[in-house]
Copies of this chain bind each other. A is one copy, B any other.
């Protein structure tokens, strides 16, 4: 079983608990968020991260915000909700899932505006837990579908952290590994450390170890050598965004991995929920590559590891062409050798 990244304790007057990911992999500690400000800063300082996990955190944050509301009627409660929603939106303004979850709760409040305040608060907690439950089901379904592609004894290579720590449950790429493991298969994992932010070294190895799944840490540049030695039977990665034709944007380094896998005849799989597929995006070339802070590469904590003022190129992600992807695994099934047609049929 993977670890529980975020959970709600008690009724609508209860609190949330989440693993403080800034302390990983040194120690596992839950932060108790009893009020909205605590949740706001947990999101802000990246104690919690990953699109689905952020949706759940934001929804729970809104429930926390309403605990404090003194509104005696629902009209005023909804006014308070809007205020708290705006406040939570400032915690991480680029997190799409956070906005999505907050809007979903706002819509529920509006639909139930005839309920008394206490009942509406309860309703909103239910909705937050529903978001979590939906994510859990999606993770489990992705896991089940993907596990069909693996065999007993397989070595799986993964990049970054598309695991339990990024979602409300099994994760996406790692869901496949958890599901195979739970089905009694022996699977072992090679985890790319994933420069520059080392999500693989810090998070993926940690959560797999917690789940007693054998994992070996490597530098990103070692994946080709591991494949050459015949130790890798499949590469499985997550996705930030999938275009209508199957081109997949994911953490920088994914594209290189797809080329290396092809060279060694190792199947390359993308595991992601349907919601990641953006049908308005015809192909991956339309995705602008975001540049991140050079200091992610030139600094290590307080220490400088490159000459002062050196030019740096630090793309956040790259795009793997659909031609390099053997299958996209979603909660609905597996799209083998993805094309625009197959994807359209799949999501209908």
A interface with B by C-beta (< 8 Å): 25-26, 190, 192-196, 198, 201-202, 205-206, 209, 214-226, 228, 252-253, 255-256, 259-260, 263, 289, 297-298, 300-301, 303-308, 310-315, 318
Contacts and interface: CB of A to CB of B under 8 A. Distances in A.
A246 to B, nearest CB: 17
What is the count of identical protomers in the complex? 2
A202 B311 contact: no
Contact of A201 (B209, B226, B297): B297
A190 B259 contact: no
B307 A25 contact: yes
A217 B260 contact: no
Given A222-B315, A256-B260, A315-B222, A206 B297 contact: no
A318 B192 CA distance: 17
Nearest to A188: B311
A87 to B, nearest CB: 33
Nearest to A317: B225
Nearest to A289: B225
Contact of A305 (B190, B198, B252, B303): B198
Contacts of A217: 297-298, 306, 310-313
Contact of A219 (B196, B218, B224, B311): B196
Contact of A306 (B25, B256, B313, B315): B25
A26 B226 CA distance: 34
A259 B190 CA distance: 20
A275 to B, nearest CB: 25
B201 A252 contact: no
B216 A307 contact: no
A307 B206 contact: yes
Nearest to A303: B301
Contacts of A315: 222, 225
Nearest to A257: B221
A197 to B, nearest CB: 10
B224 A221 contact: no
Given A297-B201, A305-B202, A310 B215 contact: yes
A221 B253 contact: yes
Given A201-B306, A225-B252, A306-B202, A312 B25 contact: no
Contacts of A214: 311
A306 B313 CA distance: 25
B220 A318 contact: no
Nearest to A231: B313
A305 B201 contact: yes
Specify which of A209, A259, A308 lies most central, judged by the most chain B CB atoms within 10 Å of its CB: A259
Contacts of A311: 214-217
Contacts of A314: 218-219, 222
A216 B260 contact: no
Nearest to A193: B297
Nearest to A251: B221
Given A25-B304, A193-B195, 14 more contacts: A25-B305, A195-B220, A195-B221, A201-B306, A202-B305, A209-B307, A216-B311, A220-B221, A221-B256, A222-B315, A224-B318, A225-B255, A256-B256, A259-B260
A209 to B, nearest CB: 5
Contacts of A306: 25, 193, 201-202, 205-206, 217
